[in-house]
Chain A
Amino acid sequence: MTNIWFVSVAGGIGAASFGLLYHLKPKHLPYALICGFITTLIMMAGTETYEFGNLISNFAASFCGALLCIFLSRYKKAPFTVFMVPSLFPLVPGRALYYSMVGFMTHDKELFIDNIVASVEIAFGIAIGIMLANVFNVFYLKEKKKVEKKTKN
């Protein structure tokens, strides 16, 4: 369990570092660190502790991360992308992509296919998570508008 916390801190530091590399404004860096930590923690808990597999773990992490980023984008009045790109960076299938590249270079078909499948699984998990968070956001905005109209009337 301790390992997960250490790894999550590493994920948070990685997210903030990539935020800086992507020219994220200094005032947003702490948010990238926190979001990176949370997404990594959820992903690690899913894969290591509960053994849900890549798809579900990355979906849960990206969904929660994206919701957090949507909230931050409203709170800080900045585009969603600004928070999302560094925050979800720890979920990028770096290991799977690397080993699929190794498989490709060494003509090891099994290694290549296994890791490509894992990369696609992770990418699907991230994409579906972001999409559903956006759907939630649209519903929330619609409801908010309805409430505002009612209070005006």
Chain B
Amino acid sequence: MKEIKVDVDLMLRTALDIGQNLWVYGADVRRVEDAVSRICKSYGVAHIEVFCIASLLQVSVRMPDGTYLQEMRRLKASGNNMARLEELNDISRKICNKEITLDEAGSRIRRVKTIEPYRSLYYYVAAAFGAAAFCFFFGGTWHDSIAAVIAAVPITFFDRHVLLKADMMARIMLEALTGGIFVLLAVLCGIGENVDLISIGVLMLLTPGMVFGNAIQDFLNSDVLAGLSNLVKAIIVSVMIAIGIGASYILWGRIV
């Protein structure tokens, strides 16, 4: 009886570790709930309830022998790390197929944090290409794209080195401010022409991305809580960008 209880505890902990990390690395609420549920079901739980919102993951399981466990995790800010997400998905699948034990899964989960598919330089190149491509995509000229590259590099530098420990919203605002100043600098130097199109290309690096779409998707799936939290997040990020870019224009107006 004792042995079963320990297994249930370990199973639940592993499932929660995977769910929590999936959220941190960019999975949506449904995927987190699905992964946790599948892992627990593969260990023969009699009943399971998983509840996940933007800040909380709660799971309760009842085993066929009557053992009942409930645990929760506080979910903090999430980002996008597809390589780690893929690794976690692989671990989850292997647990469900009984290809690895829970102990092996635990050590693999701990190693997930160390996965880094690219060197730092690549992120600068990607940011530069991304900003330039989207500047062109939104109607900018080649010159505007070059100006977007100039503004994208300092944003990436701030993001990766300077503002690492800053609060997410403050970080986005400061990065938008930096981006705005560099866009205006580039235009003043005669590199680009259309301030708005260059700004749009550069700000794509900061936009909430799929969060807005995910929010609508959650609403359509009747998951109002998840949808609301995603929508609010998207709105606050947009407002922070607006404040950052607006501040850069105001600052520029005072200086020049």
Contacts and interface: CB of A to CB of B under 8 A. Distances in A.
Contacts of A90: 134, 137
Contact of A13 (B85, B129, B204): B129
B101 interface: no
B106 interface: no
A19 interface: yes
A49 interface: no
A126 B213 contact: yes
Interface in B102-130: 116-118, 122-123, 125-127, 129-130
B86 A127 contact: no
Given A18-B130, A21-B126, A10 B136 contact: yes
Contact of B210 (A13, A78, A88, A120): A88
Interface stretch (B49-57, B60-68, B238-246): B238-246
Nearest to B81: A23
A120 B122 CA distance: 33
A142 B26 CA distance: 28
Nearest to B218: A127
Interface string A1-17: 00000110011011011
Given A24-B117, A78-B86, A123-B216, 12 more contacts: A11-B137, A17-B133, A21-B205, A26-B118, A81-B27, A81-B28, A81-B82, A98-B199, A101-B242, A101-B245, A102-B242, A127-B213
Interface of A: 6-7, 10-11, 13-14, 16-26, 28, 40, 62, 77-79, 81-82, 84-86, 88-95, 97-102, 104-105, 119-120, 123-124, 126-128, 130-131
B242 to A, nearest CB: 4
Interface of B: 26-28, 31, 80-86, 89-90, 116-118, 122-123, 125-127, 129-130, 133-134, 136-138, 196, 199-201, 203-205, 207, 209-210, 212-217, 220-221, 238-239, 241-243, 245-246
A20 B123 contact: yes
Given A79-B86, A97-B238, A104-B242, A40 B137 contact: yes
Nearest to A85: B210
A25 B86 contact: yes
Contact of B137 (A10, A81, A93): A10
Contact of A14 (B84, B86, B133): B133
Contacts of A10: 133-134, 136-137
14 contacts: A17-B133, A18-B209, A20-B123, A21-B126, A79-B89, A81-B28, A91-B213, A92-B209, A94-B204, A98-B196, A98-B200, A100-B238, A123-B215, A127-B220
Given A23-B81, A79-B85, A95-B138, A14 B27 contact: no
A25 to B, nearest CB: 5
Contacts of A19: 82
B209 A85 contact: yes
Given A22-B82, A23-B83, A98-B196, A85 B212 contact: no
